[in-house]
């Protein structure tokens, strides 16, 4: 029989290769089960305050054992009872003999399970928000630094009119700005599942407080306050509405969509040698082709982003197929989708920050590409200036059309440089001097309001966010691999 040890078992690469320790901790057993215990303490405190016979000694005993969880005992009990919450109730009770009779009093499993899920998502959203703000900060600096640097625009990945390096980056940044607004809304409106009982009616607590509805209302408020929430959801079944998971994962999906689009552009630009990811001194691009500098960071973002985008479909399916007050076909799915969605999103933001902290712009290559395509783009301006000096527009159009075809043939058939500008300067039929033509064709004159758009957007939309969260700024990311 083969002996299987830990190295022979599957290990999640989101933990071992990609996500941060901070995000991994939020979805760890220690965070989860210590939060269960904090919720039991919060319930006991609230019940005591509202008149239930619970002593300070019982609460103190529970508080002293919030973190020292006997996982072996819990595992063994769960094997017998096939119920994770009751396994931990018994384990907690074994450690807290005084408090054992009142642990989980009036509650259902969803009290600890669902409330902890909400708490984990809140903590994870805060961490995602922190990293998103740091990425926006790096990108805003980049956009401002290159706001006036002309570059070829592309439509259909075919050369188009000029834009600037910074303007293009501001398009990426605006997508993430939209994601920030969505994240902020969802996080601000996230509520605790609360103290609702088995089917959400609070019947058990109404019975506990001898039909005093006001005490049941106050109980939920006290628990929410103890867990640092302003309020709980007004209506639930046994679980909080699974639409909440949809809203959360759609935020993660939105970030992933933006990151995928941005890093796709970076990959294409690296192919053009205009922009490059950081490339470390001993980094290897290919095991066979020693010269290669692959955009592995952007490719990794693309791979993880597709994973995150597709995770949101799981929560949508789950929300649409729930039965009445609860069904358990959400549980196993949630154990996978919610943590892994956050872990992957955390990773892509770390990689994004890393990219922009070391991104390389090859301005000479950008200028070279402009010079190869730009002459065709400025022909209309040459025609207009010649007409201003008395030329016939239709005649000028035909002259420049012929010169353009000749120049294009040199480029396409013989692989030579685009010499249309030189041909126009040399043409006796075009009544413009060399200086006049050179003055007309300065790339900076063809970028429109690009730099003004960048300045306005960054100053009015991004900087207020950065100022609001200034204490978060300064993350330096080091990738595991």
Positions marked active-site = 156, 286
| Residue 105 to residue 343: CA distance in whole angstroms | 34
| Residue 108 to residue 422: CA distance in whole angstroms | 82
Say if CB 214 and CB 306 are below 8 A apart.
no
Give the residue from 42, 82, 97, 88 showing the smallest Cα distance to 69: 88
Q: Name residues whose C-beta falls within 8 Å of residue 106's C-beta, 6 or more positions apart in sequence.
A: 43, 47, 195, 197, 204, 205, 207, 208
Say if CB 241 and CB 320 are below 8 A apart.
no
Say if CB 74 and CB 86 are below 8 A apart.
no
| Residue 136 to residue 140: CA distance in whole angstroms | 6
**Which phi and psi angles does 151 have, rounded to 5°?**
-150, 155
Token pair 């025609």 is found at 383
Please write down the HEC assignment for all residues of 59-94.
Answer: HHHHHHCCCCCCHHHHHHHHHHHCCHHHHHHHHHHH
Token pair 């384990």 is found at 91
Give the residue from 150, 158, 92, 394 showing the smallest Cα distance to 274: 150
C-alpha distances in angstroms, 228 versus 115, 222, 402? 12, 10, 74
Q: What angle do CA 453, 163, 423 make, to 5 degrees?
A: 145
């Amino acid at each position: 029989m083969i002996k299987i040890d830990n190295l022979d078992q599957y290990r999640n690469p989101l933990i071992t290769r990609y996500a941060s320790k901070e995000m991994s901790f939020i979805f760890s057993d220690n965070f989860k089960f210590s939060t269960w215990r904090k919720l039991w303490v919060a319930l006991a405190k609230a019940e005591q305050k509202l008149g239930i016979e619970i002593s300070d000694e019982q609460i103190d005993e529970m508080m002293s054992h919030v973190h020292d969880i006997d996982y072996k005992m819990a595992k063994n009990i769960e094997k017998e009872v096939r119920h994770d919450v009751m396994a931990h109730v018994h384990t907690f009770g074994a450690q807290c003999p005084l408090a054992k009779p009142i642990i989980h009093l009036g509650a259902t499993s969803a009290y600890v399970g669902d409330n902890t899920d909400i708490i984990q998502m809140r903590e994870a959203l805060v961490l995602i928000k922190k990293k998103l703000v740091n990425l926006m900060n790096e990108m805003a600096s980049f956009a401002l630094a290159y706001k006036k640097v002309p570059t070829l625009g592309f439509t259909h990945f075919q050369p188009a009119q000029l834009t600037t390096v910074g303007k293009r980056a501001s398009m990426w940044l605006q997508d993430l700005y939209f994601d920030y607004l969505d994240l902020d809304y969802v996080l601000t409106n996230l509520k605790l599942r609360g103290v609702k009982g088995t089917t959400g009616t609070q019947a058990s607590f109404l019975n506990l407080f001898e039909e005093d509805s006001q005490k049941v209302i106050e109980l939920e408020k006290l628990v929410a306050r103890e867990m640092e929430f302003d309020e709980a959801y007004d209506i639930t079944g046994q679980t909080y509405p699974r639409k909440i998971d949809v809203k959360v994962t759609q935020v993660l999906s939105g970030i992933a969509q933006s990151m995928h689009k941005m890093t796709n552009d970076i990959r294409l630009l690296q192919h053009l040698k205009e922009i490059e990811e950081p490339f470390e001194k001993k980094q290897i691009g290919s095991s066979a082709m020693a010269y290669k500098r692959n955009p592995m960071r952007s490719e990794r973002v693309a791979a993880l982003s597709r994973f995150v985008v597709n995770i949101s479909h799981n929560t949508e399916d789950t929300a649409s197929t729930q039965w009445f007050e609860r069904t358990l076909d959400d549980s196993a799915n949630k154990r996978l989708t919610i943590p892994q969605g956050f872990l992957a999103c955390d990773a892509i933001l770390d990689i994004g920050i890393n990219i922009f902290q070391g991104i390389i712009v090859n301005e000479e290559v950008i200028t070279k590409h402009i010079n190869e395509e730009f002459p065709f783009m400025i022909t209309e301006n040459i025609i207009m200036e010649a007409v201003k000096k008395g030329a016939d527009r239709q005649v000028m159009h035909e002259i420049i059309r012929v010169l353009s075809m000749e120049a294009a043939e040199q480029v396409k058939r013989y692989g030579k440089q685009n010499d249309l500008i030189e041909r126009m300067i040399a043409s006796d039929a075009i009544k413009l001097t060399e200086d006049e033509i050179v003055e007309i064709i300065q790339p900076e004159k063809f970028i429109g309001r690009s730099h003004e758009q960048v300045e306005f957007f960054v100053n009015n939309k991004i900087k207020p966010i950065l100022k609001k969260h200034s204490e978060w700024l300064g993350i330096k990311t080091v990738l595991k691999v």
